[in-house]
Amino acid sequence: MWNKLKIPAIGSVIVVLAISTACGKDNASPRSVTPSQSPTGMTGPGNSVPKSMSQAGKEIIALANNDAVLPMKQIGNVNYVSAQDLIRTLKFQSEWEDSEGKLILGDNDANFELIMNSNKAMKDGADIQLSQPVVKEGGTAYLPVSDLADLFQDDMSYEVRKGDVIVHASPVAIIEHEDDPAGANDNSPELNFGDDPTDPFKGNGAGANPAGMPIQTQHDLQVWSPNDQNDVMPVLKNIDINALINKGENYMGVKYKFGTGPYPQTGRFDCSTFTQYIFGKYNIKLPRVARQQGTKGNLVSRKSLRKGDLMFFYVPGRFKSNKTVGHVGIYIGNMKMLHASPEPKNGVQISNIDKAYWKKTFLKAKRIAY
């Protein structure tokens, strides 16, 4: 299924890639998550291009064209790159699961799972067989350079040059934060969102045709679905969207946690577990991560949004693609979105999407219920 891309250690091979995980947020710089017993470099994202991280006698530096240089390291005659360096450069979040020897990483939900000393990995809920194992040395995880393409082919542009991995900076100007003044004067009308005037659930009352599935009231209703899409049901159903939104708003203030498990067990959400959980209350089973959720339902124009539509965004970053889903939220009407995010309030919150940040990072909207 996955074609391996062989990358020589010396020479110049350019590969266009992209890494994301599935949940962006209000702030393009994800919040650091600090698990216990984390090996060095396996927790939290970076805040900028690293300037002085010592690695095998070298430092990550920025070239004149603002590219980042990640030094390679040979382990057992195989070229590796530090996971710490990659996480910081891409401003990823990460979490180390010590009991399973597993590193998970992504924007705001866990798109990648890497198992130490194993050739097995997971991306977007699908298993990947690596050509070389991920290894841990000196408390740091290392990724085989030969497998960077298979793992991160959607999120970054890089090349291998004279013993280094060169990660190219994005040529597109980015808005880092929701209230970044850089986008304050951008009023491009083609980027504006709009409500569908025929939305049967517009307003605050019940919709015109709320005869969908009954509301599930059991607190411990099993709505969690792991990274296995085989049991995901068809999702376009007729439900009471206003009731669903009211249900979601009941969780306002529940804290965000990157890569969290089922809410009944953890009491936390990331962006995609929140949407999965709320829609699961109405017997609509969504996949685990935002990228997978973005493959479901019917595509909707940004000019014709209805309450209950899922909205997907990329998470902007200096070294990231602007084409990959990194965040998901629920549109609730009147230019407002209900979502789980680490910032600005750290948790389930409502954001005004009538801002340049959201307009420019918007990728698509999908209707999974009506």
| Residues 66 and 153 grouped into a single domain | yes
Would you say the pTM of this structure is higher than 0.85? no
Q: Is residue 61 part of a domain?
A: yes
334: DSSP letter: T
Q: Is residue 319 part of a domain?
A: yes
339 is catalytic: yes
pLDDT digit string, tens, across residues 204-248: 654 444 333 333 344 434 444 555 444 444 546 789 999 999 999
Q: Which of 23, 168, 177, 327 is catalytic?
A: 327
Q: Rounded to whole angstroms, how far apart are CA atoms 290 and 366?
A: 12
Among 115, 108, 60, 109, CA closest to 88: 60
Between the alpha carbon of residue 8 and those of residues 15, 27, 222, 268, the distances in Å are 12, 36, 47, 43
Q: Which of 23, 168, 177, 271 is catalytic?
A: 271
119 alpha carbon, distance to own chain's centre: 23
| Residues 191 and 322 grouped into a single domain | yes
Q: Is residue 105 part of a domain?
A: yes
| Residues 16 and 156 grouped into a single domain | yes
Kindly indicate the confidence band of residue 38, based on its pLDDT and cuts at 50, 70 and 90. Answer: very low
pLDDT digit string, tens, across residues 118-160: 999 999 888 999 999 999 998 899 999 999 999 998 888 899 9
In this prediction, what percent of the chain has a pLDDT beyond 70?
A: 70
What CATH code is carried by the domain that includes residue 63?
3.30.457.10
219 is catalytic: no
pLDDT at 177: 67
Q: Rounded to whole angstroms, how far apart are CA atoms 345 and 364?
A: 24
Q: How many independent structural domains does the chain possess?
A: 2
| Residues 195 and 277 grouped into a single domain | yes
Domain boundary among the residues 139, 167, 195 is at 167
70: DSSP letter: E
What CATH code is carried by the domain that includes residue 242?
3.90.1720.10
pLDDT at 100: 87
Q: Rounded to whole angstroms, how far apart are CA atoms 24 and 341?
A: 8
Q: Is residue 205 part of a domain?
A: yes
168 is catalytic: no
Across residues 274-300, what is the average pLDDT? Answer: 96
pLDDT digit string, tens, across residues 150-202: 999 888 889 999 899 999 987 776 776 676 655 555 668 899 999 999 999 98
- Judge contact between 155 and 92, C-beta under 8 A: no
188 alpha carbon, distance to own chain's centre: 26
Q: Is residue 1 part of a domain?
A: no
Using DSSP, state whether 179 is helix, strand or coil: coil
Domain boundary among the residues 125, 144, 167 is at 167
pLDDT at 186: 63
| Residues 76 and 19 grouped into a single domain | yes
Q: Is residue 208 part of a domain?
A: yes
Kindly indicate the confidence band of residue 276, based on its pLDDT and cuts at 50, 70 and 90. Answer: very high
Q: How far apart are the first and last CA of the chain?
A: 35
DSSP H/E element including 159: strand 157-161
Q: Is residue 6 part of a domain?
A: no
| Residues 185 and 160 grouped into a single domain | no
Q: Is residue 151 part of a domain?
A: yes
Domain boundary among the residues 167, 190, 217 is at 167
Question: Domain range holding 36?
Answer: 12-167
pLDDT at 344: 83
